[in-house]
Amino acid sequence: MPRLTVLSGPSGVGKGTVVAAVRRLFPQIWVSVSATTRAPRPGETDGVEYHFVDRDTFARMVKDGELLEHAEFAGNCYGTPRAPLERRLADGVPCLLEIDLQGARQVRASRPDALFVFLAPPSWEELVRRLTGRGTEPPEVVARRLDQARVELAAEPEFDEVVVNDDVEAAATRLVSLMVDP
């Protein structure tokens, strides 16, 4: 039976880019859509990038046990709806969650049978280049992200497998091979 795969790694490592490649190259993989209290960004569609909900709805989802994991980040709440994931797993569909370290630890506590994959940068220097190269954040935000990335990189031994993101399509292919050939 296909199992749940949890992908995590430091900010700037390219988790979203690798997951987009998985969606494009391996459409048979189901990628969970998180719920969030943040407002949609231009071009985002409810139910595609996120399920956009208000704080009261999110709080009810937490209280009712509807989320596999949840966290607050930068003033917004994020969480993984449990029911769609459980349905896909019951149907035998390989499932992928892209979540932060805190969420991965929550999932490990409740789903130790999941496969936990750490997406690593080719080097610290490359991660710094990616985070500073965005040019969309002020230096103090980049500094905070780098500090957080050090903490996240130190958690690599907590994961079952490591995939180095030095080539997006190769990383996506390696991730899927871990998911479907356990």
**Contact status, residue 36 vs residue 76, Cβ threshold 8 Å:** yes
Q: Give the C-alpha separation, 88 to 91, whole Å.
A: 5
Q: What is the mean pLDDT of the chain?
A: 91
State residue 75 phi and psi, 5-degree precision. Answer: 85, 0
CATH (residue range 4-180): 3.40.50.300
Q: pTM for the whole thing?
A: 0.90
Output helix, strand, coil percentages for the chain, rounded to the nearest 5.
Answer: 45, 20, 35
Look at residue 179 and give its three-state secondary structure. helix
Average pLDDT rounded to a whole number, residues 100-113: 92
Beta bridge partners of 45: none
For tokens 């050090």, the residue is 150
Read off the pLDDT of residues 158-176 as tens digits, 9 standing for 90 and up.
Answer: 999 999 999 999 999 999 9
pLDDT for 135: 66
Read off the pLDDT of residues 27-71 as tens digits, 9 standing for 90 and up.
Answer: 999 999 999 999 998 888 999 889 999 999 999 999 999 999 999
Average pLDDT rounded to a whole number, residues 173-181: 90
Give percent of the chain above pLDDT 70: 97
CA distance from start to end of the chain = 10
